[in-house]
Structure 1
């Protein structure tokens, strides 16, 4: 926590500024919504410190049973369901030993059973995500004294502590705050601005009571952005009002970090989370878009889509340009609502825990996290390659929830903590050591967590970034191929004029004839320091930029509409997660027949990454690209679609685009394309 040493001064200035501008966290909720709030900037100090966050996520009820006298004993997933706060305290040394510097716990507030509630409600109570009393610790997890012990012990060990804030919904039997406030409206979602004072009090209470360092924000899209601005202001003020002694003996303020869960694409995260450049809402959000690209590159996603490469990763990283400057995306590999990476490797029939490739792909995915600019989060068990025996394929029957095998909770397995609940095998220990090595490397090299990224190579087989933060300059290389390869890097392209040093092995790579020859084993990652950087710096790769040049009929935007039906009897639409339609059929995305079996529609598109299918109004007819990826200006095979078969495409320049579908005379799908209009 060395970066905290100036936070008292910084937050004092922040408080003075707040008083001068006449803004405070207790202003009426009607003022927060009926008139635009004054712009409230993200704290530079908090944003800079958050880059170096290495968060370890704990699902409390499925983690460690530290007190056998308490526990829910039921829940979603396959765990023992008896995890508690004592179990987290017992595991702090283990978490710290991984090189992590923060923990995020799922909600620990009391969810009081309703009279006669069924077992499904009991299971939901164990998650903590529908609370009754936001100001009391769930007695099945512990009590206020145990929670205080956890926070104080974590701080002494150099770990920040983040609680999970559910500020958009609650259980029906909600209890008032200490000052008598209650949320307003329905229980899911609540109404804003009327509910704002209640949730401001929640956010403030636990910072002042326990000195927690901030909040993870569940389903953050349920809360309006202007309300988030006011809650963030409250968190900043509360954090500036209390102090604790950190592991270095420094008296510091709680960090005041807030990170949103918005499970959607970049444009939606910006709209509902980050807000605008000149009017920030939240300052950090989980990077779901890049998470999916990582698993689709090194494994498969939950819909069994994979086989991507370095270009796919680079496209996702470049889309960060959509976000305002204050945005701090936080990259995770998994969480309690996603399928574990190890199970995805098996779902894709790629590798099993008995295979060396399983562990190498795991290392590759974690290496991408380690090289990521911005905060990162590691879900418990990822450090040992955890997976659920007997599960890999999606279970869709009615009993999946009873068996704990539904995709949205199957990752809630009993924690395997070395020396506490299990003894790890050799392969698990090897991955754990690798994670520790990379987290230590990340702590030592700010270029990894805070550096400017310049992509050097982005092909189907490899990905290379140049990372620089002041005089800390390095290269991150990772293979996205199952074949050994040799990369040839020109010295002028990577901004180097001397040796490169492998930061893990210490070996040096010499320059020969202006080139470096670097061998990568399948899915191997390397971190190389640039020992003698050139004044000119690196040259950004442009091979992943789309090439829209195509003069085929399907690429033309002005083809006349034919006065005949064509081979398809129902009107088809481009239906996807576009901001103008959000998976709805809208007339502006309806195809028209252009002749020769071709249907087209021209749409004004925004920059972004999108998922879609081509579907009739009743979804009876659905079509998608064969490999579920559509590159600009390139024809792809059109095939029948369906659940989990969405086509993905990336648009880097706003403007008009023509979507095209081609069918045979008998209605058999043939080709699809998207092309930019002149």
Structure 2
């Protein structure tokens, strides 16, 4: 009978736990700030269909290498296991010869034959959605490829700005009207051109059911175009996500495009600081917090900004660390920990999870190597899982508790959870101490290793190895005391009920 009573008590506790979790999940409606984005250069990711490999040459960094829609589809379970909840693909439209990257558009309404057909793209989107993975397509409306057929069409002469290189990057008109790297600049002030591009944007949404656009070269297109663009795509799909590339170091300049309808941006100021701080030991992390304070002030929702340490336009993070003669694995783990625990949406460029190396373009666009470093893949997946399991890492407030000589502690709180993210960015082992009144009778448990640190009168001392990071969860000093108390109460109640039922049966 004692076992039955114990079973009933445990069952009741489990029921309460499931009910509380269901209520919490219902309360927290998922939004884009909860996603983790994996960035894929289609041609350089995975070859799933050899039949479209014509003119491919893996030995030529400027040629097609064979990646395609089928290849990505085959790797969706890999991406899911890595913790990705959204994928961003480089442009899928038909490109000029050697346009493996997708940014030299030849036809806005067709897919690049090296990548596959529209039907294969639709299948990719559908199968991603089946796994609760959203799909973002890169879209270029600023320019066409170098030899676009419209250039020879006298009827479309006004579809382009007059040929002129950008010579003054401080002159906004020159930035918007000039030909970037010699690419023919589309005249979006022309209503015909503008309507064509708006139609293209709506077409791919309706045709494939994608979830968002990463907007290329945003600052080279007038803001009034982006206002119309945003209204058009949101009408086609109300929760459609727009993340813009405004390559600039001033958040005030970038945030001005918030008012033009673009809700999110890849955060270049944060990227610059993360690379500078984490590629070399001994650097203070204070500027990372300064970036966050500025972002809170300038952006409508800084939690939707895209954070990254690698992309296809910049030297790989691993190469940055190697150039500083540092251990790239230790440096990358520190950078990834910040990427996944700071406010904003983590964007992981393909290969970062395998410590892929690469210098300037096109060396930073090597074919994906899925076996390069399995330990780093496991670590990245662990961070991805933690971010999904702890809303605090996605939605929590953010403050800096400690900042001294490469030592930093950040605090994040959301609802009833508090996390402390601890960094020792120095090569030397260090004892990191800090106090917080919330730590009275509490302990800290590292979510990466299960190591525990007990608080003493609201103060903790953490023995941190050199070049290490920790994600500590605040918990009761004896996390089971409360649970045992509830169980004891339930068992006592069940026992009393059983006693009275037995006496009633004996007296009847």
TM-score (normalizing by structure 1)? 0.58
Q: Partners in 1 of 2:156 and 2:236 — Cα distance?
A: 18
Residue 310 (structure 1) aligns with = 285
Q: Partners in 1 of 2:357 and 2:64 — Cα distance?
A: 16
Describe the superposition over 1:67-118 as per-residue Cα deviations: whole angstroms up to 9, x where unpaired. 1121352698478622111111111111111011111110110124xxxxxx
1:43-58 equivalence runs, <5 A: 49-58=31-40
1:588-607 equivalence runs, <5 A: none
Match of 1:476, SS? strand
Shift of 1:175: 6.5
Q: Partners in 1 of 2:253 and 2:41 — Cα distance?
A: 24
Residue 135 (structure 1) aligns with = 109
1:239-278 equivalence runs, <5 A: 239-240=237-238, 255-267=239-251, 269-270=253-254, 272-275=256-259
1:618-657 equivalence runs, <5 A: none
**Which structure has the highest helix share of the two?**
2
Residue 460 (structure 2) aligns with = 516
Shift of 1:341: 1.2
Does 1:471 find its partner at 2:454? no
Does 1:383 find its partner at 2:367? no
1:29-108 equivalence runs, <5 A: 49-71=31-53, 73=56, 77=61, 81-108=65-92
1:297-446 equivalence runs, <5 A: 297-299=277-279, 308-327=283-302, 328-351=304-327, 358-388=328-358, 407-417=360-370, 423-424=371-372, 428-446=373-391
Q: Partners in 2 of 1:69 and 1:524 — Cα distance?
A: 46
Structure 2: segments with no counterpart, 5+ residues? 1-27, 162-182, 478-508
User: In the superposition, relative to structure 1, how do residues 473 and 513 fare at CA in structure 2: closer, same or farther (>3 Å)?
Assistant: closer
Q: Partners in 2 of 1:384 and 1:126 — Cα distance?
A: 22
Match of 1:499, SS? strand
Match of 2:470, SS? strand
Match of 2:401, SS? strand
Q: Partners in 2 of 1:158 and 1:79 — Cα distance?
A: 33
Describe the superposition over 1:289-335 as per-residue Cα deviations: whole angstroms up to 9, x where unpaired. 111111111116xxxxx863222322222221342323432101101
Does 1:148 find its partner at 2:142? no
Q: Partners in 2 of 1:79 and 1:274 — Cα distance?
A: 36
Match of 1:147, SS? helix
Q: Partners in 2 of 1:433 and 1:269 — Cα distance?
A: 38
- Tell whether the 8 Å contact from 1:204 to 1:235 is kept in structure 2 after alignment: yes
Shift of 1:146: 0.8
- Tell whether the 8 Å contact from 2:267 to 2:307 is kept in structure 1 after alignment: yes
Shift of 1:519: 1.4
User: In the superposition, relative to structure 1, how do residues 66 and 294 fare at CA in structure 2: closer, same or farther (>3 Å)?
Assistant: same
User: In the superposition, relative to structure 1, how do residues 454 and 271 fare at CA in structure 2: closer, same or farther (>3 Å)?
Assistant: closer
Match of 2:197, SS? helix
1:288 pairs, out of 268, 271, 279, with 268
Describe the superposition over 1:570-596 as per-residue Cα deviations: whole angstroms up to 9, x where unpaired. xxxxxxxxxxxxxxxxxxxxxxxxxxx
Shift of 1:489: 0.9
**Which structure has the highest strand share of the two?**
1
- Tell whether the 8 Å contact from 1:496 to 1:532 is kept in structure 2 after alignment: no
Describe the superposition over 1:274-297 as per-residue Cα deviations: whole angstroms up to 9, x where unpaired. 23xxxx531100011111111111
- Tell whether the 8 Å contact from 2:278 to 2:335 is kept in structure 1 after alignment: yes
Q: Partners in 2 of 1:463 and 1:78 — Cα distance?
A: 42
TM-score (normalizing by structure 2)? 0.77
Q: Partners in 2 of 1:170 and 1:462 — Cα distance?
A: 48
Q: Which has the higher contact order (CA 8 A, sep 6+)?
A: 2
Instruction: Say how many residue pairs are matched.
Output: 420
- Tell whether the 8 Å contact from 2:282 to 2:426 is kept in structure 1 after alignment: no
Residue 208 (structure 2) aligns with = 210
1:531 pairs, out of 475, 486, 504, with 475
